[in-house]
Amino acid sequence: MKRVRGMVLWVATFLLMVVMCVPGLWVILSAFRPNREILAKPPVWVPETLTLDNFGKIFGWGAEQIAIPVGSYFLNSMVIALTSTVIALGIGMAGGYAFARFRFRGKNSVFLGLMLLRTVPGIALSLPVFMLWSRLGIIDTKLGLIIVYVSLNVPFTIWLIDGFFRQIPLSLSEAAQVDGCTRWQAFWKIEFPLAKSGIASAGVFAFLTSWNEFALASQLTRSTDSKTLPVGLLDFTAQFTIDWAGMCAMAVIIIVPALILTFLVQKHLIAGLTFGGVKG
Amino acid sequence: MIRALTTRRTDLAPFLLLLPAVAVMLFVVALPLLFSLWTSLTPYKLTKPASLYVFIGADNYLRLLSDPAFWVPFGRTVLFLTIALNLEFALGLGIALLINQITWGQRGLRTIMMFPMMFSPILVGFQFKFIFNDNIGILNNALQSLGITDQAIPWLVDGWLAMASILFAEMWMSTSVFAILLLAGLFAMPRDPVEAARVDGCNPWQVFRHITLPFLMPFAFIAMTIRSLDVARAYDIVKVMTGGGPAGRTELLWTLIARTGYENAQMGKANAMAYISTLLSIAFTVYFYRKLMAARRFMGGVQ
Amino acid sequence: MAEITLTGVEKRYGALRVVHGIDLTIAQGEFVVLVGPSGCGKSTTLRMIAGLEDISGGQVRIGGRVVNDLPPRKRNISMVFQNYALYPHMNVRDNLGFGLKIAGQTPDMIAKRVDEAAQILGLADLLDRTPAELSGGQRQRVAMGRAIVRHPDAFLFDEPLSNLDAKLRGQMRAEIKKLHQQVKTTVVYVTHDQVEAMTLADRIVVMRDGQIEQVGTPMQVFNHPANIFVATFIGSPPMNLLPGTISGGAVRLADGSAVPVPPRLTGRAAEGQAVTLGIRADDISPVGHGLSQDGPGAELDLSVVLAEPLGMESLIYTRVAGQEVQAKLYGPRLVNPGDRLTFRLALDRAHLFDAASGRSLEAI
Ligand SMILES: Nc1ncnc2c1ncn2[C@@H]1O[C@H](COP(=O)(O)OP(=O)(O)O)[C@@H](O)[C@H]1O
Ligand SMILES: [Mg+2]
């Protein structure tokens, strides 16, 4: 009986993993294979040639080149995601600390209000922002997108960081103040070091949101100077014949930073979400 | 005097700390929303700038209310969200319970489970477009070479199949959110109530139904709340996979907004739709947030 | 070292008043314990002294200086928290030296003071551990060490022993007492445990509902409770209380039986006054098995309801005038439920309280 149960569990888990991983892995694998092998009929299951040509094409080192400036897109994405993350973290730390450490009137309403402003669908928000940014002259600039991404990340960053600060007993800060610290010193010497890893994971989350965002970026950026990777991916579909292998290579470029970052902070991320949400 | 100042300062501190957050949200979200509210009350077209100043009242809304070209995608969106969230919850719960049972290699499994969460929705869309492509897609290729079918199945061309494919992609991307959070709930669960229930003669199903599930509900609602914050990311998937086609049969509210606003330049009408979609998102979020609060109160001192 | 003075100190949360105008002077070097049931405002009072809580009204002075508007760091006090509040990311050495470092002391000075504190508290071998690697008692010691290294004007303790098990609590209680005798700093100590209060305090402050009920040495508070609340709160088991009326020089109880008014209180009780007679279990014992055999006494024939042998003594449950009364039997002797014995009530240790106000007739 026990053995049967074990077997069933194992098979179920195996199937689960296949479904979870294979689609993603297939794209990643395809990035290292030439187009003719990907598109072959009947399918070539086990790769015969593994090559970096697709990446070469993208970055312009190979013989073959494509007309899509992935390098610029990558740089734009990095600059936009990093800047907006840093700003959102600053704002989120201040806000999260306020929610975790102070009682004030209208606290719940402010919190709910921030969250609700976050729910506005990207595409719905893009319409007025598109019109306003055009008037302000920041349409199709990195700055315009950074500002939008800050607002996209602030509510969630506050939620997470509030949760992390709340796990730190208030008496630690009080003890530090009795020991001679100002509240500001107590924050930087005691509370911040203890919440550091949590704040870092909130940062990773914010970075990923910006890095992966499409709906707003696709409307607010047009030129090589500001387009991000997810928007750039669609350049492929505009071409006469779709270069599937090239697209897969670009997909890998988008996914790798995200993969690395998420694995680094997965533990904190879950803790932050559940603590922030469940504990009152 | 000094006294009054210090007291005032402590009272002000939280507001000062929240000021940047509130300011940025007001400037980047609330202000544009006001602007789009105004726009939705005009016949504004990008091609006719003057039309921004023509007030037509609720005309756009009234016209939408009677327009099946709006109602059908709207209904489809609600249906899509309902099915997707429920299936994701059920599957996520199953996965969490399964992984909770496994002791050997559990950490690895958990990590694998996070894999889809890192994918940008646009990538998920592209990935499944690549896999479901009727001509070069690996799925059809596999089915044909295995002899299961000799026809290419039109995954993204047939209306129903395309919707199902999109649903699959959406679930692939988001089920992990539920699984991870519910698993965290299972880890946080105290053993005593389960053991007490067993001693009281509950069978495994009863234990699950009356002890485990109620305990997990707050975690489920956290997941639902988080998900409802960004359900609209499904737009990216649809945009890449089908673009709303074939013939509008996978059109969701969000793709319709983009088409109306940017392709047809009918900003007034698009903003009216956008407003409705925003209210829809808010309704979902508030619903789950309230459930979360209620579940939290219900759990009382336990957590 | 400094004197601490509270004058009319109040705490309000909006309309809710949790501390109602407290007046108290704590002498330099004195060990004062605030004791009272949970929620009575002890911590709030202590935290107002520390500067962790705004003072809604009145004045707090430390060493003659009004500190109402000073932040905690400028009050030169140190505090031991209920959960110790050790900094989890610092080892014991850094925890101890943190306050000195913030104050800008030289590393030599810090090392010297930390070693000194570690010596006093027996922490010398633990200096490189982090709080997570310490037992409950050790953490408690570090928290105390952190308080003493800074040589503050006063120590504030908020229920420092309540997270320890009973045995360790007794041990640490003795150490705190010894520590105070060694450093002779003013101490304000908060607890809800009357045993802790009795054993540690130079003076006890009994609080209820944000008000002071009585201030006195442990013996004063125990032997001369100012009112019924103090009488029942201090001492274990709680003092027996029997309602009655003064009639012809005696307290007439509900069933008509009479107990003479204690001689020291004659003249303080008016004829016909409704009173409550208070007597501790130790002061009502079977004849020949009590603590005090001389002095004025009253004898009562009572039957045993239940006896709990505790070794050299037994706690006896009996009934007087229809009410349960606990009595003590000293010396090993077996009694059984239903036994009828003559009990002697030590009148010079009995108390009379005015039934209406609850105040002791002795105090009026
Ligand atoms: N922030 C607050 N708001 C309202 N009431 C409070 C607050 N903090 C404490 N109280 C109330 O003040 C009273 C005294 O609390 P406290 O000083 O902690 O009591 P204790 O004597 O147990 O230490 C309690 O009844 C408590 O409910
Ligand atoms: Mg307290």
pLDDT at C319 over 90: yes
Rg over CA atoms, chain C: 24
Task: State both tokens at B52.
Answer: 């921004």
CB of C191 within 6 A of ligand 1: the answer is no
Q: Which ligand is nearest to the CA of C36?
A: 1
pLDDT at B5 over 90: no
Q: Looking at this predicted complex, what is its ipTM?
A: 0.86
Band of residue A145 on the pLDDT scale cut at 50, 70, 90: very high
C99 close to C81: Cβ distance less than 8 angstroms: no
For chain B, give the percent of residues with pLDDT over 70.
Answer: 95
CB of C12 within 6 A of ligand 1: the answer is no
Atom of ligand 1 nearest to the CA of C11: 12
pLDDT at B3 over 60: no
A41 vs B136: CA distance, rounded Å: 8
Atom of ligand 1 nearest to the CA of C158: 23
> Are B3 and C68 a contacting pair at CB < 8 A?
yes
The alpha carbon of C238 and the centre of ligand 1 are apart by a number of angstroms equal to 25
> Are B30 and A117 a contacting pair at CB < 8 A?
yes
The alpha carbon of C210 and the centre of ligand 2 are apart by a number of angstroms equal to 12
Q: Which ligand is nearest to the CA of C83?
A: 2
pLDDT mean over B202-226: 86
The CA–CA distances, whole Å, from C11 to B286, C7, C215, C297 equal 38, 12, 20, 47
pLDDT at C164 over 50: yes
pLDDT at C238 over 90: yes
C-side interface with B, Cβ within 8 Å?
Answer: 54, 68-69
pLDDT mean over B60-84: 90
pLDDT mean over A130-134: 90
Q: Which ligand is nearest to the CA of C81?
A: 2
> Are C68 and B10 a contacting pair at CB < 8 A?
no
| CA-wise closest residue to B77 among B234, B213, B245 | B234
A141 close to A151: Cβ distance less than 8 angstroms: no
Residues of C in contact with A180 (CB under 8 A): 73, 99, 102-103, 150
pLDDT mean over A87-114: 91
Question: Cis bond leading into C243, ω under 30°?
Answer: no
The alpha carbon of C39 and the centre of ligand 1 are apart by a number of angstroms equal to 6
Q: What does the mean pLDDT of chain B come to? A: 84
pLDDT at C122 over 60: yes
- Best mutation site among C62, C82, C87, C140 for testing chain A: the one with the most A CBs within 10 Å? C87
B12 vs A49: CA distance, rounded Å: 65
Band of residue C276 on the pLDDT scale cut at 50, 70, 90: very high
Task: State both tokens at C313.
Answer: 């003594």
In this structure, of B41-50, B146-155, B173-182, B225-234, the range with the lowest mean pLDDT score is: B146-155
pLDDT at C211 over 90: yes
Band of residue B43 on the pLDDT scale cut at 50, 70, 90: confident
pLDDT at A265 over 70: yes
The alpha carbon of C54 and the centre of ligand 2 are apart by a number of angstroms equal to 16
pLDDT mean over B31-55: 86
> Are A176 and C87 a contacting pair at CB < 8 A?
yes
Band of residue A27 on the pLDDT scale cut at 50, 70, 90: confident
Atom of ligand 1 nearest to the CA of C42: 21
- Best mutation site among A178, A184, A196, A197 for testing chain C: the one with the most C CBs within 10 Å? A178
Q: What are C48-76's pLDDT values in tens digits?
A: 999 999 999 999 999 989 999 999 999 99
Residues of A in contact with B218 (CB under 8 A): 277-278
Task: Give the residues across from C25 on adjacent strands.
Answer: C5
pLDDT mean over B86-111: 86
Q: How far is B138 from chain C (nearest CA, A)?
A: 52
SS3 A114: helix
Q: Give the pLDDT of residue C88.
A: 92
Band of residue A4 on the pLDDT scale cut at 50, 70, 90: confident
Residues of B in contact with A21 (CB under 8 A): 112, 115
Band of residue C292 on the pLDDT scale cut at 50, 70, 90: confident
Task: Give the residues across from C323 on adjacent strands.
Answer: C320
C355 close to C243: Cβ distance less than 8 angstroms: yes
Q: Give the pLDDT of residue B200.
A: 84
C285 vs C360: CA distance, rounded Å: 23
Band of residue B289 on the pLDDT scale cut at 50, 70, 90: confident
CB of C44 within 6 A of ligand 1: the answer is yes
pLDDT mean over A214-235: 91
Instruction: Enumerate domains of chain B plus CATH numbers.
Output: 63-298 (1.10.3720.10)
Q: What does the mean pLDDT of chain A come to? A: 86
User: Integer distance in angstroms from the first to the last C-alpha of chain B?
Assistant: 44
Nearest CB partner across the interface for A177, out of C72, C89, C103: C72
Band of residue B4 on the pLDDT scale cut at 50, 70, 90: very low
Q: At B275, which amino acid appears? A: Y
Q: Give the pLDDT of residue B91.
A: 92
Q: Give the pLDDT of residue B188.
A: 82
For B188-204, what is the HEC assignment?
HCCHHHHHHHHHCCCCH
Which chain C residue has the Cα nearest residue A169? Answer: C85
In this structure, of A265-279, B84-98, B228-242, the range with the lowest mean pLDDT score is: A265-279
Q: At C212, which amino acid appears? A: I
A243 close to A251: Cβ distance less than 8 angstroms: no
- The length of chain C is 364
Residues of B in contact with C69 (CB under 8 A): 2-3, 6
For chain C, give the percent of residues with pLDDT over 90.
Answer: 77
Q: What are B219-250's pLDDT values in tens digits?
A: 888 888 888 877 888 899 998 888 877 778 88
Subunit partners of chain C (3 or more CB pairs within 8 A): A, B
Q: Give the pLDDT of residue B180.
A: 86
Band of residue A273 on the pLDDT scale cut at 50, 70, 90: low
CA C299 distance to own-chain centroid? 33
The pick from C17, C44, C205 for probing ligand 1's pocket by mutation, whose C-beta has the most ligand atoms within 8 angstroms, reads C44
Residues of B in contact with A99 (CB under 8 A): 14, 18
Question: Cis bond leading into C237, ω under 30°?
Answer: yes
Residue C36 carries which DSSP code? -
More confident residue, A262 or C103: C103
CB of C87 within 6 A of ligand 1: the answer is no
Q: Give the pLDDT of residue B199.
A: 85
Q: Give the pLDDT of residue A62.
A: 66
Q: What is the pTM of this model?
A: 0.86
pLDDT at C282 over 80: yes
pLDDT mean over B274-302: 79
Residue with CA at minimum distance from ligand 1 atom 20: C39
Residues of B in contact with A113 (CB under 8 A): 25
> Are C69 and B10 a contacting pair at CB < 8 A?
no
Residue with CA at minimum distance from ligand 1 atom 19: C39
CB of C336 within 6 A of ligand 1: the answer is no
Q: How far is A164 from chain B (nearest CA, A)?
A: 16
Q: At C5, which amino acid appears? A: T
Residue with CA at minimum distance from ligand 1 atom 26: C39
B17 vs B33: CA distance, rounded Å: 24
pLDDT mean over C249-263: 90
Which chain A residue has the Cα nearest residue C73? Answer: A180
Which of A:165-204 have CB within 8 Å of C?
A: 169, 171-172, 174-183, 185, 189-190, 193-194
B270 vs A238: CA distance, rounded Å: 25
pLDDT at C255 over 70: yes
Contacts of residue B96, defined as CB under 8 A and 6 or more positions apart, other chains included, come to: B178, B179, B180, B182, B183, B185, B186
pLDDT at A279 over 90: no
Instruction: Enumerate domains of chain A plus CATH numbers.
Output: 2-51 (no CATH), 70-274 (1.10.3720.10)
CB atoms within 10 A of CB A181: 24
> Are A121 and B277 a contacting pair at CB < 8 A?
yes
pLDDT mean over C95-116: 94
Q: What are C125-150's pLDDT values in tens digits?
A: 999 999 999 998 999 999 999 999 98
C239 vs C229: CA distance, rounded Å: 10
SS3 C56: coil
Q: Give the pLDDT of residue B9.
A: 44
CB of C13 within 6 A of ligand 1: the answer is yes
C338 vs C332: CA distance, rounded Å: 18
Residues of A in contact with B235 (CB under 8 A): 121-123, 214-215
Q: Give the pLDDT of residue C115.
A: 94
Atom of ligand 1 nearest to the CA of C41: 17
CB of C40 within 6 A of ligand 1: the answer is yes
Instruction: Enumerate domains of chain C plus CATH numbers.
Output: 4-232 (3.40.50.300), 239-354 (2.40.50.140)
Nearest CB partner across the interface for C85, out of A174, A182, A185: A174
More confident residue, B79 or C295: B79
Nearest CB partner across the interface for C77, out of A176, A178, A182: A178
Q: Give the pLDDT of residue A25.
A: 87
- The length of chain A is 280
Q: What are B167-193's pLDDT values in tens digits?
A: 999 999 999 889 988 988 888 888 888
Which chain C residue has the Cα nearest residue A195? Answer: C89
CB of C38 within 6 A of ligand 1: the answer is yes
pLDDT mean over B92-117: 84
Phi first, then psi: give them for residue A59, nearest 5 degrees: -90, -5
